[in-house]
Amino acid sequence: MPEEQSLWKYNDEDEDEPFYQHALNGERKSQPSHARGGILADEMGLGKTLVILSVIAGTLDRAKEFEELDIDESQPQIQPQPKLNSQATLILVPSTLFHKHIGQDRYLEKEFLRKRAIVFTTYATLATEVRREASFLSNINWFRIVLDEAHYIRNRATKQFLAVTKLSAQNRWCLTGTPIQNDIEDLGALIAFLKVPVLERPSTFRKLISHPISSNARYRFKNMQTLLHAVCIRRTRGLLEIPEPLIQVKQLPMSQLERSQYRELLHDCKMKIDMAVSGISRQQKGET
């Protein structure tokens, strides 16, 4: 990673031995530690999915090499039951495509999940498996994990967040056009998933990022800007000089059956709305 995009700055002037110093908390290390991945926050319609598919296609050889690594090489930490490396990119989505790790048959797929280039599953499926302690996904060391619509995990208290942070991976990416939806803690959840050194801990993120922003200090956004510059890529339509899309509205004629079903649905909706409004009116009259 280029130093201008890193949270670690090289220093060979202040000590006898050169060192790297963290840009936000001043921590010193002989070698910097970086998150493997980041946040792809392009505006909607600019091709976040295409970018990730291109990255997957361009790293198939590296992914295969990762799968064939000895356990000790990819997982220096001691584990009671070492996790098997997988060349796959696990993509979590609100809906499912490609190979789908859902349904009852997913419990038979442990070896299969190691050999595919892409595995799709849903946030709900993962959360359910982890809660039941029956997740093959948690027993695999993935080459890459991608969170599509990553703002789904913006709340650290949700089952989805707790489930995805238990997954092991060499590389991690978040795809979302809105990394901050409600407040800065939304970003903190993504940083925790990415395992950005130092800032993945909630207390440290709040000390270095959240608290300065909530103050009235002149440079209160400086730390957040430094962080985003290191882990976030965001392209806008104007930056890429992409012309505005052409919108064409075409009215399609309904068949007799489609029109009948449409009218039936419209009638049912209208009746339910009338009943709801009527019920509120009666309740208000009773209160008076």
Mean pLDDT in order along the chain per 10 residues (288 residues): 74 83 88 89 86 93 88 51 85 67 54 76 88 79 94 92 92 93 93 93 94 88 93 84 84 92 93 82 54
pLDDT in tens, 36-60: 999 999 988 788 988 999 999 999 9
Q: How many domains does the chain have?
A: 3
Looking at residue 46, its amino acid is L
In angstroms, how far is CA 4 from the centroid of its own chain? 24
- Is residue 23 domain-shared with residue 93, that is, in the same domain? no
Q: Are 190 and 154 in contact (CB under 8 A)?
A: yes
Q: Are 233 and 39 in contact (CB under 8 A)?
A: yes
Residue 246, in any domain of the structure: no
- pLDDT score at 280: 60
In angstroms, how far is CA 24 from the centroid of its own chain? 23
pLDDT in tens, 244-266: 778 999 998 999 999 999 999 99
- pLDDT score at 163: 92
- pLDDT score at 213: 92
Residue 7, in any domain of the structure: yes
- Is residue 200 domain-shared with residue 277, that is, in the same domain? no
- pLDDT score at 202: 93
- pLDDT score at 179: 92
**What is the domain-level CATH number for residue 171?**
3.40.50.10810
Q: Pull the structure tokens for residue 171.
A: 């590389």
- Is residue 151 domain-shared with residue 109, that is, in the same domain? yes
- pLDDT score at 175: 94
Range of the domain at 137: 35-240
| DSSP letter assigned to residue 252 | P
Query: For 172, left (φ over 0), alpha (ψ -120 to 50), or beta?
Result: beta
- pLDDT score at 59: 94
- pLDDT score at 244: 78
Residue 44, in any domain of the structure: yes
